[in-house]
Amino acid sequence: MRVSFLVPVYNTDPAILALCVNSVLKAANDYHEVILVDDATDRDDTKAFLQRCKDADLDNLQILHNRENAGVSFSLNAAATSASGEFLSPVDHDDVVVSQGFHQMLRSLRYHAAPWAYSDEIQVDAKGFLIQRLYKPDYSPQLLRSLMYINHLQIFSKTIFEKLGGYREGFEGSQDYDLALRMCEISEPLHVEEIAYHWRILEQTQSRVGEQLDLHAIDHALLAVQEHFHRLDRVAEVSPVMFKRHAHSAPEPIGVYRTRLVPTRPYSVSIIIPCRLGTTKVIDGVRLVLLNHCLQALKRSIGNTEDVSPKGSSIEVVLVLNHDDNLDEAREALTRYELDGVAIADQPGFDFSRKCNLGAQVSQGEVLVFLNDDTDIQTIGWVDEVISILQEDDVACVGGMMQNVDRSVQSCGDNVGRDSAVHYAPQRSAGGIGDPMHRYLADHETTSISGAFLCCRKPVYLDLDGFSEAFPNSFQDVDFCLRARAKGMRCITAPSIRLLHFESATRDAQVDAQTLNALRSYHGPSLAGKDCYAFWRYQPIYFSILSYNGLKFRAYLYAKKIVNIVRRFEKLLTQKPRCWRGVLKKSEYRVS
């Protein structure tokens, strides 16, 4: 297995280019091929370095020259045409390849006989100092449609590359994104959990100036996503997600895209609310009747059912009461808030799963929405979004972002693994990006969806035999989603759908040991390992300060602060660009 590294070069700072080229040559190890493409550079010191590369007379180093500045797509295609390796790996001219990570990727490609792989990476600044680590999920198609998270380092089959016609000119700034979307239509990439790349964030590149993305790159990315759906014979609305980087700044594109498939026909929706009449809770100093508040918010968020897109869709509400609740009172509540629906009573003895299943049995909708009565839906038009995301047959269920009363994030998907399941909330503020994968902005796959707001198609619900009554009070949502994933289906969180959740106001939220042990017993392999979407990498760790682990963690935080202070001084004293943590030593340079 031979890899050809493709490195387009244009007016690169020779100090940075030297780091890039020598890191790639180190990874190539005299066996793999390195192809530099000079895209009509007019900077003298860059030309001088390219001449030194030529004078080095290395057997595995090629240097090509474009007659005129033709752009990155043309340059990469020229390099690929000249490549002799069975696999190709594009590298930006200002970045660094980590040899150890690259060889681990090769090992994984061989073992899995995969045609395409991508690695984790870190972002560094112009001097080579760490900005952040990017730990990526395993292949996440919904996230890829929302964000080019695959990025670097990629290694893919030259056969697939040529079959697709290579990079397309006219997508400069997003040419990698366009290629990834086309490749994922015929091949699923393998994720290798290894840092194999250092992505240098400069003040100005082809795709960004400072923090702001280039508008041409945004337009090209939008076009790439739109054409992706067109090739799949699906009609989709694609729009950039706007984000305020600072409190007083204007919203701007951030490289995240919202994709919504356009339904081909109307759908009927049943919103199933297990509840107990008369339950109250003090919220912001006001005592609320939870069901009434939930229905009022529901009415506000869906508006008139006649306005639901596409025209002709219908919405019903199914209230599932305790056995001793007054049905007439529940029906009167539906009438008061002008909601169509029915009220039914459960049998004696609390079983949340049974209540959900009972509501599903009497529902008429093609789409089922399981909604807690202690919620307040904030997003107007969320029904449209749910119907849109459920258009694909392999989507099992859809959830949203759950927020606490103070608007802090309670859950944006679930972190399932390591023998437990917890809500995923890497940042408290819902106004941030969440994590480096932008999961507070981008639709993404998750291992599990919170049962407080879980939407699915009725055929999927029936195929999974509903919620298991082996989990009467908790984890029925996790069990449902794990069974769906075992059948090859996806669970998707759409953070644009936001709800307040007054956590377990009706019942005690505590999980007994028996229930947790049952979940571990039934889903051992799924729970034993790490979450495949890398949530655990970003999940905050909380320890009691009085515990042994808490004291150790506190000591770690203090040590980290000291290290950061030392690095600030080191950065001030550093004049030239360098490689982070000695990935490349001066003695390992092949071209100086």
Report yes or no on 549 lying in a domain. Answer: no
Lowest mean pLDDT among 2-16, 258-272, 294-308, 399-413: 294-308
User: Residue 506 — pLDDT band, cuts 50, 70, 90?
Assistant: very low
Q: Are 234 and 245 in contact (CB under 8 A)?
A: no
Is the domain of 406 the same as that of 487?
A: yes
* Average pLDDT rounded to a whole number, residues 182-197: 96
Q: Dump the DSSP string for 226-259.
A: HHHHHHTT--EEEEEEEE-SSTTSPPEEEEEEEE
Higher-pLDDT residue of 208, 279: 279
- Examine the pLDDT at 268 and tell me if it is beyond 50: yes
* Average pLDDT rounded to a whole number, residues 458-485: 92
Lowest mean pLDDT among 52-61, 428-437, 567-576: 567-576
Q: Dump the DSSP string for 477-512.
A: HHHHHHHHHHTT-EEEEEEEEEEEE-TTSSS-----
Count the domains in the chain.
2
Is the domain of 218 the same as that of 272?
A: no
Is the domain of 178 the same as that of 284?
A: no
pLDDT at residue 318, rounded to an integer: 95
pLDDT at residue 28, rounded to an integer: 94
Is the domain of 64 the same as that of 199?
A: yes
Is the domain of 286 the same as that of 230?
A: no
Residue 97 has φ and ψ, to the nearest 5°, of: -95, 135
C-alpha count within 13 angstroms, C-beta hemisphere, residue 297: 21
User: Residue 245 — pLDDT band, cuts 50, 70, 90?
Assistant: confident
Is the domain of 33 the same as that of 150?
A: yes
* Average pLDDT rounded to a whole number, residues 402-408: 92
Is the domain of 39 the same as that of 175?
A: yes
Bridge partners of 185, per DSSP, are: none
User: Residue 512 — pLDDT band, cuts 50, 70, 90?
Assistant: low
User: Residue 203 — pLDDT band, cuts 50, 70, 90?
Assistant: low
- Examine the pLDDT at 524 and tell me if it is beyond 50: yes
Report yes or no on 554 lying in a domain. Answer: no
CA-angle at 187, arms to 182 and 190, nearest 5°? 115
pLDDT at residue 3, rounded to an integer: 96
Note the pLDDT tens digit of each residue in 107-119: 999 999 999 999 9
pLDDT at residue 550, rounded to an integer: 72
Note the pLDDT tens digit of each residue in 319-361: 999 888 889 999 999 999 999 999 998 888 888 999 999 999 9
pLDDT at residue 229, rounded to an integer: 96
The CATH number of the domain holding residue 208 is: 3.90.550.10
Percentage of the chain exceeding pLDDT 70: 92
Report yes or no on 328 lying in a domain. Answer: no
User: Residue 542 — pLDDT band, cuts 50, 70, 90?
Assistant: low
Spatial distance between the Cα atoms of 51 and 10, rounded to a whole number of angstroms:
14
Report yes or no on 524 lying in a domain. Answer: yes
pLDDT at residue 408, rounded to an integer: 92
Is the domain of 374 the same as that of 516?
A: yes
Report yes or no on 261 lying in a domain. Answer: no
Q: Work out the mean pLDDT of the chain and round it to a whole number.
A: 89
Helix (H) / strand (E) containing 33: strand 33-38
Report yes or no on 443 lying in a domain. Answer: yes
User: Residue 544 — pLDDT band, cuts 50, 70, 90?
Assistant: low
Note the pLDDT tens digit of each residue in 430-460: 888 988 999 999 999 999 999 999 999 999 9
Helix (H) / strand (E) containing 224: helix 215-231
Q: Are 494 and 389 in contact (CB under 8 A)?
A: yes
pLDDT at residue 206, rounded to an integer: 52
User: Residue 480 — pLDDT band, cuts 50, 70, 90?
Assistant: very high
Report yes or no on 563 lying in a domain. Answer: no
Report yes or no on 399 lying in a domain. Answer: yes
- Examine the pLDDT at 52 and tell me if it is beyond 80: yes
User: Residue 230 — pLDDT band, cuts 50, 70, 90?
Assistant: very high
pLDDT at residue 418, rounded to an integer: 66
User: Residue 526 — pLDDT band, cuts 50, 70, 90?
Assistant: low
pLDDT at residue 528, rounded to an integer: 59
pLDDT at residue 504, rounded to an integer: 52
User: Residue 256 — pLDDT band, cuts 50, 70, 90?
Assistant: very high
Write out the two tokens for 555. Answer: 């000591």
Spatial distance between the Cα atoms of 322 and 352, rounded to a whole number of angstroms:
10
* Average pLDDT rounded to a whole number, residues 220-230: 95
Note the pLDDT tens digit of each residue in 355-396: 999 999 999 999 999 999 999 999 999 999 999 999 999 999
- Examine the pLDDT at 236 and tell me if it is beyond 80: yes
Is the domain of 433 the same as that of 289?
A: yes
Lowest mean pLDDT among 62-71, 232-241, 426-435: 426-435
pLDDT at residue 466, rounded to an integer: 94
pLDDT at residue 379, rounded to an integer: 94
Is the domain of 172 the same as that of 275?
A: no
Q: Which residues constitute the domain of residue 292?
A: 268-314+349-537
pLDDT at residue 419, rounded to an integer: 64
Spatial distance between the Cα atoms of 106 and 179, rounded to a whole number of angstroms:
21
Number of H helices, E strands in the chain: 17, 27
User: Residue 422 — pLDDT band, cuts 50, 70, 90?
Assistant: confident
Is the domain of 141 the same as that of 217?
A: yes
Is the domain of 283 the same as that of 221?
A: no
